[in-house]
Homo-oligomer: A and B are copies of this chain.
Amino acid sequence: MRPFKRKSDCPIHFAIERFGDAWTLLIIRDLMFFGRSTYGEFLYAGEGIATNILADRLERLEVGGIVSKGPDPERPSRSRYALTQQGIDLLPIMLDMIAWSGEYDPGTAVPPQFVERLKTDRVAVEAEIRERLVSSGQFLIAPDAP
């Protein structure tokens, strides 16, 4: 696995090391907004991530405490990944990024209504999604509270 580096104790730098990588952010997006949670679902998500990269990023996310991994209750041979509390706490950042791109990317895929709702009703939108993420906890294999 590509190791974590600590060039400084700057919080921005820490965040970058933990999740500030293109593929990593796309995986978090898949977990957070598209309900994807298996290797295959990430693999065929559209941007075309390579298997070695996917494995590397999943491991990094797990080691970093953002994602937990465990056997699928229904099919134990298959693994399922889920956001931990720490991962769910990335929601504000993701929503900010969506809002920003919704504002400045002419070709964005974000529906105008959602961009609008994000501006006028941000708190509710966030609470709503957070609630959904928390309550889908059946896949939260390794909860943060020990």
Contacts and interface: CB of A to CB of B under 8 A. Distances in A.
Interface of A: 6-16, 18, 20, 22, 25-26, 29, 46-48, 65, 86, 89-90, 92-94, 96-105, 107-110
Contact of A20 (B9, B14, B22): B22
Contacts of A99: 92
A6 to B, nearest CB: 8
Q: How many copies does the complex hold?
A: 2
Nearest to A108: B11
A86 B106 CA distance: 13
A100 B96 contact: no
Contact of A11 (B20, B48, B101): B101
Contact of A101 (B15, B46, B108, B110): B15
Contacts of A7: 47-48
A26 to B, nearest CB: 6
Which residue, A8, A93, A99, has most C-beta atoms of chain B within 10 A?
A93
Contact of A10 (B29, B48, B90): B29
16 contacts: A8-B46, A8-B109, A10-B26, A10-B109, A11-B98, A11-B101, A11-B105, A11-B108, A11-B110, A12-B29, A13-B22, A20-B22, A20-B25, A89-B103, A89-B104, A92-B99
B100 A13 contact: no
